[in-house]
Structure 1
Amino acid sequence: MEEYAQIPIVCIVGPTAVGKTGLSLELSHRLDGEIISADSMQVYRGMDIGTAKLPFIEREGVPHYMIDVVDPTETFTAYDYARMARPIIRDIASRGKVPFMVGGTGLYFRSVLDDLDFTPATRDEALRSTLELETVEHGIQVLHEWLQQLDPVSAMRIHPNDQKRLIRALEINLLTGKPVAENHRSTNSLSPFVPLVIGLNMEREVLYARIDQRVDQMIDEGLLFEVQTLIKKGCTAQHTSMQAIGYKELVNYIEGHVSFSDAVIRIKQASRRYAKRQLSWFRADPRISWYNWPNDDKISVVSTILESINRDGIRKKPTYE
């Protein structure tokens, strides 16, 4: 890991719809930075509207990475993210630019910053076959209830219909005797980067209103058509990508399980719950400096952040550039 040592990186984290994208663009312009997305769903091609993927024309000339890297029928893990993102960060720094990692997927940040050990848990084909048979005989809900008892954190993150991930989580729990998260612990080696982590938050009522507004905007922009297009390309409810908020609810609508208005309500509810989980995850990280955004005076907040960045040795972009 020495090749990554001492590389400074600015991270911007926080709940969905809080304003991370806008701040990342402003700071990137000021610091001559390039942005690495840390969003577990923006990695998928064709999932643009529902993941709030910033259109190319709106990126203001700032290079963005880790967007559209796999097809939505493929599985993509935090290990894959770290393996792809670390060389990009090193390349950005080698060219004298400032790497920014921006997004709301906490495990993606940890996989890069904390040098997590992703040594796969032992696989047991007999156990997997037993779990698959259990699904056939008693239904997938039994697996989800079992996981809730063994590993409530994983059960909260995995959709009750995602058979592949449920079986894998149960396999890890039963083979190691530990929850999935405890199999992704930091190694004892030095962190490969020197991070300055900025956390954005705002009053809950304001955040929830922004989330609702964003969902309405996604619907207006054609989220339903995007989901229909993905289904035509072979995506099903069993693919990890289609478990994303906004996609799974509309799949339920398309399959006739709920009305369209109910699906939209569920998207908003799930988005608000997700924002709460994001905040819980990030608040546990003592490295994060929190800012009330954008309720505080924006100019003051940006100035304070820039001062913190400069103290950590990340240079400001010269005014003549």
Structure 2
Amino acid sequence: MQDNTGSNKLIVIVGPTGSGKTDLAVELAKTYPGEVISADSRQIYRYLDIGTAKPSLAERGGVPHHLFDIIDPGQDFNLAEYQGQTYQVIDGIQSSAKLPFLVGGSGLYVWAVVEGWQIPQVAPDWELRNALEKRARDEGADALYQQLVAVDAAAAESIDRHNIRRVIRALEVRLGGGNRAAEAPRKKTPPYSILIIGLTAERRTLYERVDFRIDKMIESGLVAEVSSVLDKGYAPDTSALKSVGYKEAMSHLRGELDIPAMAERIKAETHRLIRHQYNWFRLIDSRIHWLDIQDDYVARAKELIKGFLEEKSSEYGIY
């Protein structure tokens, strides 16, 4: 096992949903040893396990996992809070002579940590937020997105137009007096030496993997999970239930989709999500060491980390 005492090193594992990031992280964390930090914008929620593909205790393999189940559905949690908590966790893991693994497919979360984004501290404006939510209901989500394009094109480029919650927050920041994304310094390099590993495969292979996983989610009780959250008193329109998988299950509970149609809708939306994730994690990004999951990627990942920890060459890390 590698001794990481005194190390300021951070391993980041990124890639599209269904590529096996968590499994790889657990395998690597057992080898070096280390602990896993979630960079998933949905796995932060309690009670949402099946639809977020949250790893079970058995799947975690005894490796400590952080930033799972930290807030209730409907509870407000912004990017600045995630970034701050992640830095605290990273520092704690490093101080205990272990290697932190930041793992996830939420590009906003990953790059906020890795690049040290300076996030505008704009307090929630509930009156504005309610007005924007009403406009989204009345005119459609694209109307809000086009408004964001008009006032802050750089921010709009980094946000999925279908993610109404993030579009509203970006508008809230901009209209509340925050600087445009393209203006003012927004990054401060964190004090870590960072290696980024990306997992990828042919698009058809990824689609087949996630389609299989979605079928298993439904068989495992995705709809019952949503019903349980509603039974706990959470509103049907809570932001946690608007993400892929949960919004389709809500449509089923409202009688709008039968199970086969629900499954197909989730698969189509997940395929779209994969395409969006590749916009965040570009295959041409020289900072990311891309590994094809159809090759011997675990051995190659271990080789990369070994070289990175031993600092054999500057080719391994990005900072």
TM-score by length of 1: 0.83
**2: CA distance between counterparts of 1:239 and 1:77?**
15
Correspondence 1:262 to 2:299: no
Correspondence 1:59 to 2:60: yes
- The aligned counterpart of 1:290 is 290
Q: CA deviation at 1:306?
A: 3.1
**1: CA distance between counterparts of 2:186 and 2:107?**
14
Q: 1:312 to 1:269 in 2, by over 3 A?
A: farther
1:50 touches 1:246 (CA, 8 Å); kept in 2?
A: yes
Q: CA deviation at 1:76?
A: 1.6
- The aligned counterpart of 1:202 is 201
1:144 touches 1:155 (CA, 8 Å); kept in 2?
A: no
Q: Mark the runs of 5 or more structure 1 residues left unpaired by the alignment.
A: 314-321
- The aligned counterpart of 2:190 is 191
- The aligned counterpart of 2:46 is 45
TM-score by length of 2: 0.83
Q: Map 1:227-242; keep pairs closer than 5 Å.
A: 227-242=226-241
**2: CA distance between counterparts of 1:127 and 1:48?**
32
Among 145, 165, 168, the residue aligned to 2:143: 145
Q: 1:255 to 1:13 in 2, by over 3 A?
A: same
Q: 1:229 to 1:173 in 2, by over 3 A?
A: same
2:15 touches 2:105 (CA, 8 Å); kept in 1?
A: yes
**2: CA distance between counterparts of 1:128 and 1:8?**
39
- The aligned counterpart of 1:252 is 251
Q: 1:100 to 1:49 in 2, by over 3 A?
A: same
Q: Mark the runs of 5 or more structure 2 residues left unpaired by the alignment.
A: 1-5, 150-155, 313-319
- The aligned counterpart of 1:111 is 112
Q: Give the aligned residue type for 1:145.
A: A
Q: Map 1:159-178; keep pairs closer than 5 Å.
A: 159=164, 167-174=168-175
Q: 1:108 to 1:150 in 2, by over 3 A?
A: closer
Correspondence 1:74 to 2:75: yes
Q: Deviations over 1:122-180 (max 9, x none)?
A: 87777667656x63xx9432563242353354462424xx6xx554443444456976x
**2: CA distance between counterparts of 1:203 and 1:176?**
43
Higher relative contact order (CA 8 A, sep 6+): 1
**1: CA distance between counterparts of 2:64 and 2:124?**
39
- The aligned counterpart of 1:27 is 28
**2: CA distance between counterparts of 1:79 and 1:223?**
30
- The aligned counterpart of 1:156 is 161
Q: Give the aligned residue type for 2:171.
A: L
Q: Deviations over 1:238-259 (max 9, x none)?
A: 3221112100111111112222
**2: CA distance between counterparts of 1:7 and 1:308?**
15
- The aligned counterpart of 1:223 is 222
Q: CA deviation at 1:82?
A: 1.1
Q: 1:122 to 1:207 in 2, by over 3 A?
A: same
2:291 touches 2:297 (CA, 8 Å); kept in 1?
A: no
- Matched pairs, number: 299
CA RMSD of aligned residues (A): 2.8
Percent identity of paired positions between Structure 1 and Structure 2: 36
Q: 1:34 to 1:130 in 2, by over 3 A?
A: closer
2:22 touches 2:103 (CA, 8 Å); kept in 1?
A: yes
1:40 touches 1:105 (CA, 8 Å); kept in 2?
A: yes
1:117 touches 1:185 (CA, 8 Å); kept in 2?
A: yes
1:117 touches 1:184 (CA, 8 Å); kept in 2?
A: no
**2: CA distance between counterparts of 1:85 and 1:194?**
15
2:12 touches 2:197 (CA, 8 Å); kept in 1?
A: yes
**1: CA distance between counterparts of 2:185 and 2:23?**
32
**1: CA distance between counterparts of 2:301 and 2:141?**
47
Q: Give the aligned residue type for 2:138.
A: I
